[in-house]
Amino acid sequence: LLIFVAYCDGFELKNSDQEAMANDAESEANNAQSDFIQLRVVSQDSKEVTFRVKMDMPLIKLMKAYSERTGIGLGSLRFVFDGSRLDDTKTPKELNMEDNDMIDVYQQQHGG
């Protein structure tokens, strides 16, 4: 299992493996005093990218960062949280997201 923790322009980017989980306790202590949470974006092939985001930041920033990180066009990606497609204008706070919540991402199939 390969895990990416991403932070840029309100995010931080860090590549790691399962050992990154050991650093979570330290980052959770820092998060307790801020309005940031970590969101895990998991693809169909179980690759995971973790983003540290502000609770009031529109999710389009996370979506764009994921698209840039993976090299997959944003228009080809579908982000799903709790069974519903994500509205990119919403914030984690508006969606009652919590630390370490998981967002599923699917690459849309284009028929031929």
Alpha helices in the chain (DSSP H): 21-31, 60-70
Per-residue pLDDT reduced to its tens digit, 10-65? 554 444 443 445 455 555 555 454 699 999 999 999 999 999 999 999 999 999 99
Q: Give the Å distances, CA to CA, from 18 to 36, 49, 52, 97, 109.
A: 22, 12, 17, 23, 30
58 closest CA partner among 91, 87, 9 = 91
Per-residue pLDDT reduced to its tens digit, 55-111? 999 999 999 999 999 999 999 999 999 999 999 999 999 999 999 999 999 998 766
C-alpha span between 18 and 3 (Å, rounded): 7
103 has which bridge partners? 41
Q: Looking at domain 3-107, which of 3.10.20.90, 3.40.50.970, 3.30.43.10, 3.90.550.10 is its CATH number? A: 3.10.20.90
pTM metric for this prediction: 0.70
